[in-house]
Structure 1
Amino acid sequence: MSPILDRAHDFIFKNARLLDRQLFAYLFKGGSKQAVIQALAAYQNPDGGFGNALEPDKRVPDSQPVDCEMAFHILEMIDAFDHPCILQACGFLQRISTPEGGVPTALPSVMNYPHAGWWNTPPDPPASLNPTAALAGMLLQHSVRHPWLDRAIPFCWQAIAASESTEYHDLLPMIAFLQHAPDSVRAQAELQRIRRRIEENQLVCLDPNAAGYVHPPLDWAPTPQHWARNLFTDADLQADLEHLLSKQQEDGGWPISWTPVSLAVELEWRGWKTVQALYTLRAYGVEVS
């Protein structure tokens, strides 16, 4: 293994969740895809949804929409989006959808357990593009058919057209949907509107020394295939790749840029972030193994 991967290996196997250990092993060490799926299954509830702090900043065991999104991302990373748990999760999403056809960012059960302040949720939360659009985008990308998607698509179109949000966590799900939306002409018009919003509001952080919860180019375009790749010059991306490499810590892991709920949660996030950093570096051709 390279020094980068060797150090990350030590951090992952000392500190990360079983899920992230199995994901790391599959992606970088020839490990078992089935082992990743088995580890992920522990986060899926009998209602078909995912919970149990798969997204670590909320410790609620009950199923949550964002945890379903994270599960979808993991299955995408290991090329297992045809697994039956996808349709089971869609059934959960259908049951929790609002009359508009989308799902809330979080369900009220999050309030019964320790959670970060940004997960505070009202008793009757509205549908949100985050994560509805991200979930719908992945289902469209992989040609998954489910009745939930039939109602989520119109919701996404309407909500995107009405939105002027400059929030990263709103815009990235919009892009995920529009990249794979059924009406490509309409999607391109909305993507150009989003591009202007990103550029005019200077939403991308190009300063490698910026502190806090900022979003550099690779947050927007984690792989070269992402639509946001075209927002940046080769020099922008090369600089950010070098900066991402430099952020590997002495213990071999990558840091997070927000205050976690607990020390254990910080390690859970850092395990996930470390796998994601290596995944992005390799996607852009950086030799990590």
Structure 2
Amino acid sequence: MIQPPLVHAENFIWNNARLLERRLFAYYFRNGSAHDVLAALGAFQNADGGFGNALEPDIRCPNSQPVPVQHALEILADIDPASPMVEQACDYLLTITTSEGGVPWLLPSAMGYPHAPWWQVAEGTPAALNPTAGIAGILYAMGTDHSWLQPAADYCWARIDDYALQDSLHDVDNILTFLYHAPDRTRAEERLAHLAQQMLAAGLVADAQADGYVRKPLDWAPMPDHPLRKYLPQADVQAHLDAVLASQQADGGWPINWPPLSPAGEAEWRGWITVKTLRMLDANGALHG
């Protein structure tokens, strides 16, 4: 008998996912406690207010890093935007912000621990749109009023206004998050329309059946209210929904589309991806039928 996607995935989560994703699954789908999610997330936070400890499974170092902070804020935006962890994380960001107003992609402390080969520190660790724009967008979404945000937003606007589209999926993803939530809606919508045209012309929105490390329609715009949705043909969105449902693995989880750093890292990523995929399917009315 074929199990519904949620039931099949639940078995995978309890068998394989780390505590954080088990509690996120319970919160979203089994009336779980927000307190339990926050307690699990807190284990990844350091005394400096940042997050590390392999919250980002491809960076195994215990030290705080910018991208794990972004991951933590994504969770907090949904679970508890008023959590003290938000302000603590912003205080940490102040300590690593460059003179440009943004934060680097990666700090040198990551190099002393196992990490995926694509995680490399740029010389001088300059600020980067990935993850500065994404973090700023999340903070706007939460209504956070912290001194880190405005200089970071100024940095993002300066970079976005003259942004030349390159083959950098993560830069674009972070820009979209910023434009989704930036309070200057006229400016944001103008830049979004221009960026969407560039993305489609450059083939950055891959076909639902494409292989490899690519971004497909629902990877870019997972929720129906995502601002990029209006630029994507509904037939392409539906084709991707069908492909996602078909790609659920025999163990109930969904796969990653990049080489894992380790078996443990792969299991951690699959737990993260599986919860994220279930939420996307649910929001698009595709989880139960």
TM-score by length of 2: 0.96
Residue 51 of structure 1 corresponds to which residue in structure 2? 52
Separation of aligned partners in 2, 1:155 and 1:122 = 18
Separation of aligned partners in 2, 1:221 and 1:52 = 29
- 8 Å CA contact 1:52, 1:61 repeated in 2: yes
Where do 1:91-106 residues align within 5 Å? 91-106=91-106
Which has the higher mean CA deviation after the structures are superposed, 245-254 or 187-196? 187-196
Which has the higher mean CA deviation after the structures are superposed, 117-126 or 42-51? 117-126
Residue 136 of structure 1 corresponds to which residue in structure 2? 136
Q: Structure 1: any 5+ residue segments left out of the alignment?
A: none
3-state SS of paired residue (2:150): helix
Residue 201 of structure 1 corresponds to which residue in structure 2? 202
Residue 82 of structure 1 corresponds to which residue in structure 2? 82
Separation of aligned partners in 1, 2:18 and 2:123 = 31
The Cα shift of 1:251 comes to 0.4
Q: Structure 2: any 5+ residue segments left out of the alignment?
A: none
The Cα shift of 1:272 comes to 0.4
Cα deviations across residues 155-210 of structure 1 (Å, max 9, x unaligned)? 000011222133210011111111222322222221122112101101111141x2
3-state SS of paired residue (1:195): helix
Which has the higher mean CA deviation after the structures are superposed, 137-146 or 174-183? 174-183
Cα deviations across residues 74-116 of structure 1 (Å, max 9, x unaligned)? 12233x1111100100000011000010000111111010001
Where do 1:222-241 residues align within 5 Å? 222-241=222-241
Where do 1:117-128 residues align within 5 Å? 117-122=117-122, 124-128=124-128
The Cα shift of 1:123 comes to 5.4
Separation of aligned partners in 2, 1:49 and 1:161 = 29
Alignment pair present for 1:191 and 2:192: yes
- 8 Å CA contact 2:5, 2:287 repeated in 1: no
The Cα shift of 1:288 comes to 3.6
Residue 31 of structure 2 corresponds to which residue in structure 1? 30
- 8 Å CA contact 2:6, 2:287 repeated in 1: no
Pick closer, same or farther for the CA change 1:213–1:21 going to 2, 3 Å: same
Which has the higher mean CA deviation after the structures are superposed, 41-50 or 5-14? 5-14
Separation of aligned partners in 2, 1:61 and 1:152 = 25
Cα deviations across residues 38-89 of structure 1 (Å, max 9, x unaligned)? 00000000000011010100101100110011011112233x1111100100
3-state SS of paired residue (2:55): coil
3-state SS of paired residue (1:48): coil
- 8 Å CA contact 2:50, 2:64 repeated in 1: yes
Separation of aligned partners in 2, 1:114 and 1:253 = 25
The Cα shift of 1:286 comes to 1.6
3-state SS of paired residue (1:225): coil
Where do 1:127-276 residues align within 5 Å? 127-166=127-166, 167-208=168-209, 210-276=210-276
Letter in 2 for 1:89: A
Separation of aligned partners in 2, 1:115 and 1:288 = 37
Separation of aligned partners in 1, 2:170 and 2:122 = 19
Separation of aligned partners in 1, 2:102 and 2:227 = 23
- 8 Å CA contact 2:73, 2:86 repeated in 1: yes
The Cα shift of 1:29 comes to 0.9
Pick closer, same or farther for the CA change 1:155–1:227 going to 2, 3 Å: same
Letter in 1 for 2:9: A
Separation of aligned partners in 2, 1:262 and 1:149 = 35
Separation of aligned partners in 2, 1:123 and 1:25 = 42
- 8 Å CA contact 1:108, 1:123 repeated in 2: no
Letter in 2 for 1:160: I
* Number of residue pairs aligned between Structure 1 and Structure 2: 286
Separation of aligned partners in 1, 2:51 and 2:211 = 32
Separation of aligned partners in 2, 1:106 and 1:165 = 21
